[in-house]
Amino acid sequence: MTRRRRPGARRRAPWAFLAPAIVLFLLFFALPIGYAIHLSLRTIEVQGLGLGSGARSEVWAGLSNYADALSDPELLDGALRVGVYGLIVVPVMLGLALLFALILDADRVRGRRFGRLVIFLPYAVPGVIAALLWGFLYLPSVSPLHHTLDALGLPEPDLLGGGALYAALANIAVWGGTGFNMIVIYTALRAIPADVHEAARLDGCSQLQIALRIKVPMVTPALVLTFFFSIIATLQVFSEPTTLRPLTNGISTTWSPLMKVYRDAFDTGDVHSAAATAVVIAVVTLALSFGFLRAAGARTRQEEAR
């Protein structure tokens, strides 16, 4: 005889399966965010010379840390530098990813598996390792590029200073991120029905026309997704400039907003100001991401309505 389960047990079963994920989410995501917000609303009050056990105490600061962060010229300068960096990285990286995906999706291309592996392989290299590898290639004293140019009597560019520094940092990001974006776009291309390609060929379309007029419009959602990921990665740039900083004087400790957060928290010891700056960066990233996704969704609905 089959025993019937109680209605209460059936209602509790989904929560039992979700419990591990909920616990991990609360411990490693929600709790750190809540603690960062708590720290951002506090500050250290120093009495007298700041000596003794009761001379330094944590007090309520309200929104003063946020006001200081928003008016901090170092944070604004870092945001401007990241903006220039993003204007180089995002178009170049997505353009190369789309180009490689279209080439690999072409009918007469051989060695697709090897090509995907070679293009994707740099993404598997950790960002710090990639920055070190490229840093030694940029450094004049050890770079084979500089030795070759010197042997040929050609001028040696300073890739770790001035305006070339943006290109040097962007090159590391493009080298490491193109493969991931290419895989996303290539997967979307492979999902296009073969009948669409065949109909275009029967209409007399060339491979270039098929790519520009059929493939690119049909993988627009994948392009939007990769653009979204690239924007978030650009706003969170940290490992590349931090790794290259010992090699050049052109990168300060506040070159990017996240580097300023790290300096305030671990070098200066002002964790409350660092928490406020981190919350501001998170809110700006969330606002930009939400605004972009909403604009992309509105455009998609308009195209579907046509």
Rounded average pLDDT per 10-residue block, the chain, 306 residues: 60 85 92 92 74 70 90 93 95 95 84 87 92 90 81 81 89 95 94 85 83 89 90 91 90 93 91 93 88 77 67
Q: Answer yes or no: is 8 within a domain.
A: no
Q: Which of 90, 93, 92, 114 is nearest to 104 (CA)?
A: 114
Backbone φ, ψ for residue 219 (5° rounding)? -105, 20
Q: Which of 216, 220, 201 is nearest to 303 (CA)?
A: 220
pLDDT at residue 88 in the model: 95
pLDDT at residue 1 in the model: 46
Q: Answer yes or no: is 6 within a domain.
A: no
Count of CB atoms within 10 A of residue 229's CB? 16
260 contacts 75 by C-beta, under 8 angstroms: yes
Q: Answer yes or no: is 264 within a domain.
A: yes
Crossing angle of the two packed helices 73-105 and 112-120, in degrees rounded to 10: 170
Q: Answer yes or no: is 283 within a domain.
A: yes
130 contacts 175 by C-beta, under 8 angstroms: yes
pLDDT at residue 148 in the model: 84
Q: Answer yes or no: is 249 within a domain.
A: yes
229 contacts 93 by C-beta, under 8 angstroms: no
Q: Which domain covers residue 218, as residue numbers?
A: 63-305
Q: Answer yes or no: is 35 within a domain.
A: no
152 contacts 143 by C-beta, under 8 angstroms: no
CA 44 – CA 16 distance, rounded (Å): 43
Q: Answer yes or no: is 156 within a domain.
A: yes
Query: What CATH number corresponds to the domain at position 70?
Result: 1.10.3720.10
Global pTM value: 0.86
Total domains in the chain come to: 1
Q: Answer yes or no: is 253 within a domain.
A: yes
